[in-house]
Structure formats: structure tokens, C-alpha cells
Amino acid sequence: MNAKRRLSASVDAELLQAAEAAVSGGDASSVSAWVNEALRLKLSHDARLAALASFISTYEAEHGEITGDEMRLAARRASESAIPVRGPAATRRFGANR
């Protein structure tokens, strides 16, 4: 197990309430564990964003800048090929009694 170090931090009241609710609901063993997991998720998220930025930079260096029109076209194509799993479109596609 990793060594632990004490930390004193000020957090928004609603975040502390969420942490305490997670502990009360059995979703976290302690507020410290909840905060530890939040920091771990933030670290992972930032690493993924950095990797994506690096990928885009490398791609654009080789193929040119991705334009707004290209992004809109890609979003439209992705939306058109998406399979809805809930909401009105899903009900129409899969039937209301499923």
C-alpha cells in the first residue's frame, strides 16, 4: 500500500456533503478514501487529456489542422450511426414493451 500523508484542504460545502453522503451510503469507507479516489480520477483524466492533445498535435502536424467543418461532419456522422438506448428514439426503435 502507498504511504499516506496528512492533508489539510478547504473544499466547497456541497463536495464535502457528497463525500459524507458516499460514506453514509456505504459507497466510500471514509471521506479520505473518497477524496483519494477523486484525486486519482483527476490524475487519470488529466493524463488522458494530455495524451489526446499529443495525438491531435501529431495528427495535425502530419495532415494539417482539423477544421470546424470537419469536426461538424464527424459529429453528424457519429450521431447518425449512433444506436439510441433510451429516450423517445429508443422506444420507437426497440418498442415500448421491452
Instruction: Give me the tens of pLDDT residue by residue for the chain, a chain 98 residues long.
Output: 678 999 999 999 999 999 999 999 999 999 999 999 999 999 999 999 999 999 999 999 999 999 999 999 999 999 999 888 887 766 665 555 54
- Report, in this order, helix, strand and coil percent for the chain, each rounded to 5: 65, 0, 35
Cell triple for 14 = 456541497
pTM equals: 0.69
Residue type, 70: E
- Exposed (0-12), middle (13-18) or buried (19+): which is 14, by Cβ within 10 Å? exposed
